[in-house]
Amino acid sequence: MSGLRPFHLAFSVHDLAAARAFYRDVLGCGEGRSSEHWIDFDLYGHQIVAHLGPGMIARPIHNAVDGHDVPVPHFGIVLTMEQWEDLSARLKAAGVAFGIEPYVRFKGQVGEQATMFFTDPSGNALEFKAFADDGQLFAS
């Protein structure tokens, strides 16, 4: 591997079967190792691990960003615009409910980006975004 290294994120879910169906079948993540307590997924080359936490309750707070209430914490990937459009269409076709519908935020400003927010079956918030110009990722 060269360039950026994959990140690793472990998070709680209340139901491994529901997590598997969502991350593997809806998001299209490859499945790696698993046990009766956790599942590794390949999220665009990054390792995320759903750990069983039967009593877990997701309690995100929300911060105002570009007129929307953004859930915190959240995680996701910065995709290419084509990948973002494909994923957006796949999520809509699967009937995924969006917390923030796919749209372009900061339109015409520094950091313009396509974004969408939704939750997994355990209530973990995810954001997937894309930039027409990846050079805008850390622009200020």
First to last CA, the chain: 30
pLDDT at residue number 60: 74
pLDDT in tens, 55-105: 877 777 888 888 888 889 999 999 999 999 999 999 999 999 999 999 999
19 and 43 share one domain = yes
Angstrom distance (rounded) from CA 12 to CA 16: 10
43 and 65 part of one domain: no
- Other beta carbons within 10 angstroms of residue 126's beta carbon come to 20
pLDDT digits (tens, 9 = 90+) for 4-52: 899 999 999 999 999 999 999 999 999 999 999 999 999 999 999 999 9
Which of 50-54, 111-115, 136-140 shows the lowest mean pLDDT across its residues?
A: 136-140
Q: pLDDT at position 1, please? A: 43
Is residue 43 domain-shared with residue 77, that is, in the same domain?
no
Shared domain for 131 and 70, answered yes or no, is: yes
Whether 74 and 107 share a structural domain: yes
This prediction has a pTM of 0.89
Question: Which of 57, 63, 32 minimizes the C-alpha distance to 122?
Answer: 57
| Residue 2 banded pLDDT, cuts 50, 70, 90 | low
How much of the chain is helix, strand and coil, in % rounded to 5?
Answer: 20, 40, 40
Residue 73 domain boundaries: 61-136
Contact 114, 102 (CB under 8 A): yes
CATH number for the domain that contains residue 34? 3.30.720.120
